[in-house]
Amino acid sequence: MKLLVGLGNPGAKYAQNRHNIGFMAIDQIAADHGFGPWRSKFQGLISEGRFGSTKVLLLKPETFMNKSGQSVGEAMRFHKLEPEDVIVFHDELDLAPGKVRLKVGGGHAGHNGLRSIHGHIGPEYERVRLGIGHPGHKDAVPGYVLRDFPKADAEWLDDVLRGIRDGAAELVAGNGDKFMNAVSLRMAPPRSSKSTPKSNKPKTDPAPEPDDDTRSPLQKLVDRFR
Q: Spell out the per-residue pLDDT of the chain, length 226, in tens.
A: 999 999 999 999 999 999 999 999 999 999 999 999 999 999 999 999 999 999 999 999 999 999 999 999 999 999 999 999 999 999 999 999 999 999 999 999 889 999 999 999 999 999 999 999 999 999 999 999 999 999 999 999 999 999 999 999 999 999 999 999 999 999 987 665 554 455 555 555 555 555 556 666 666 665 665 5
Full-model pTM: 0.83
* CATH number for domain 2-187, candidates 3.40.50.300, 3.40.50.1470, 1.20.1250.20, 3.40.50.10800: 3.40.50.1470
Spot the catalytic one: 19, 33, 111, 120. 19
Domain ranges, ordered by start, for the chain: 2-187
Encoded amino acid at 193, one letter: S
Residue 19 annotated as catalytic: yes
